[in-house]
Amino acid sequence: MPEQRDYYEVLGVSKTASPDEIKSAYRTLAKKYHPDVSTESKEVAEAKFKEISEAYEVLSDAEKRQTYDKYGHAGVNSQFSNGGFSWDDFTHGDDINDIFGDIFGGIFGGGRRQGRSRSNSPATGESLAYNMQITLEDVLNGKTVEISVPHSATCPDCKGTGGKDGKVERCTQCNGQGQVQNVTRTPFGNMMSVSDCPRCHGTGRMATEKCLKCHGTGRNNITSKISINIPKGIDDGARIRVAGAGDAGYNGGSAGDLYVVISVKENKAFERDGINLWSEVTTTYSRLVLGGEESIKTLDGETISVSIPAGTQIGGVLRISGKGLPKLNQSVRGNLYARVRMDIPTKPTALEKELLAKLDGEAGKKTSAKKSKLRSKLADMK
Ligand SMILES: [Zn+2]
Ligand SMILES: [Zn+2]
C-alpha cells in the first residue's frame, strides 16, 4: 500500500485550520474530484475522492482530529476498511448532498433511499446525473443524441401503491398513522419514542396482496431512451436539465430530474479559448521573409488559404475571422488564430543547399558589416 499522505496536506489546509476552513477546502476538492464530474480517469478520480473524503472524515470530527494530531494515521486507520470503499462508508453523506444539491442525489441515493423516512406525504424522486463526452466539432455544429438512462418509474400495474390491481388498505399495525410508539423500560422509568411503522414503512397503507410486477414496492427499474439536444457553443462542464427524467417520486410526488453533464474532448489540432480557437500554421523561411500563402484547416473541415505577410516572425499569430466557435445558441462566431511555425528541411536538395550557402554568405556580409561598424565605434570610444 502506498504511504498515506498527511490529511492536512490532502485538504491543503494548515494544522491550525478552523472547522469552517476544513469544510470549505473539502467542498472545493470534492467538487473537483467527484468521479462523476472529474475530468480525470475513473480510477484516479475515485482514489482522489476517497483520499479527500477520508481526510475530511477525520478532520471534521473534533475527537478524531485530536486522535490524529496525537497519533497520526495509526490512531485513526482502523476506522477505515482496507479497500472496499463505498459512498455509504462515510457519515458525512449529508455534506455531499448539500454540496451537490439534488443533482447527484441519484448517485448517493442508494444509501439514502434505504434510510429515507417514507412518510405518507408526497416526495420528489431522486435526480440523476449522466456524463456525456462530446467533440469540439459537436460544439461547433450542435447535435441531438439519444441516450439510455436507467431509472426507477412508478409501477403502471398498481399505480405505485404496491397492491395487486392497485388495491391497498389501511395498515392495521399503525391504524394508518404510519408511525408507531415504542416504550422502553429503563431504571429511570418508561422512555417513549416514535418510529416509522415497520409493517407499512411509514406509508400508513398496506397491500393484502402484493402487485406482481413490482413485488409490492410500487416502482420498477426501467431504462428510458431520451433525446438530448446539445446546443451550438455549449461550454465544457455545462449541465442540461431534463425535468422529470430522474427517479420516480414517492406517494404520488413528481419524478426527479436528469442532468446531462457535458465534457468536451480535447482536440489535437484546435485549442478552445471561449469562442475563439487556436491552431498552428507551418511555413518556410522564404515565405516568412518575402510573404506568401499557406493553407490551413478549419474546424469546419475545410482547407482555406491564408496569406503570410512579409517579415512575419516565428510565433507570430494570424487571425482568420469568423472561423472560431459560435456563441451559445447564436450564429455569431469567434475567430481562429494560427500561430506561425517554420519548417526546417532536414534533407535539403543540392539546389537548396547551394542557394542556402549563397544566402548564408549574404547574411554573413550583413553581420560582419554590423560587427565592423561596432568595432569602429568601440575603437572611437577608446
Ligand atoms: Zn406494482
Ligand atoms: Zn403501518
Q: Minimal CA–CA distance to 177: which of 190, 192, 194?
A: 194
Shortest CA distance to 165 belongs to which of 199, 210, 229, 196? 210
How far apart CA 306 and CA 281 sit, in angstroms, is 9
For residues 37 and 68, membership in a common domain is answered with yes
- Which-ligand-closest: CA of 176? 2
114: CA distance to ligand 2 center in Å? Answer: 17
| Structure confidence at residue 152 (pLDDT) | 95
Which of the residue ranges 50-64, 84-98, 125-139, 195-209 has the most confident prediction, judged by mean pLDDT?
125-139
> What is the rounded CA–CA span in Å between residue 179 and residue 367?
96
- What was the pLDDT predicted at 83? 35
Q: What is the pLDDT of residues 295-351, one digit of tens each?
A: 999 999 999 999 999 999 999 999 999 999 999 988 899 999 999 999 898 999 999
**Terminal Cα distance for the chain, rounded:** 72
The total of other beta-carbon atoms located within 10 Å of residue 281's CB is 20
d(Cα 228, Cα 132) in Å, to the nearest integer? Answer: 10
Q: Which residues contact 284 (CB under 8 A, 6 or more apart)?
A: 292, 342, 343
Distance 256 CA to ligand 2 centre (A): 26
Query: 193: CA distance to ligand 2 center in Å?
Result: 16
Say which DSSP state 293 is in: E
**What ligand is nearest to the CA atom of residue 214?**
1
Ligand 2 is an ion; its neighbours by CB within 5 Å are: 171, 173-174, 197, 199-200
Contact 261, 237 (CB under 8 A): yes
The number of the ligand nearest the C-alpha atom of 165 reads 1
Instruction: Indicate if 277 and 296 belong to the same structural domain.
Output: yes
Computed over every residue of the chain, the mean pLDDT equals: 83
How many domains is the chain built from?
Answer: 3
My answer on whether 309 and 371 are in the same domain is no
How far does the centroid of ligand 1 lie from the alpha carbon of residue 97, in Å? 29
DSSP code of residue 348: -
Q: Which residue has the higher pLDDT, 206 or 257?
A: 257
219 C-alpha vs ligand 1 centroid, how far in Å? 6
Mean of the pLDDT values across residues 22-33?
Answer: 84
Structural domain contains residue 180? no
pTM reported for the whole predicted model: 0.59
Looking at 46, 73, 100, the residue that finishes a domain is 100
User: Does residue 124 contact residue 244 with C-beta atoms inside 8 Å?
Assistant: no
Looking at the structure, do residues 382 and 293 belong to the same domain, yes or no? no
pLDDT of residue 125: 92
Residue 100, pLDDT score: 47
Residue 298 sits in the same domain as residue 382: no
Find the domain containing 379 and state its range: 353-382
The reported pLDDT for the residue numbered 166 is 86
Distance from residue 206's CA to the centre of ligand 2 (Å): 7
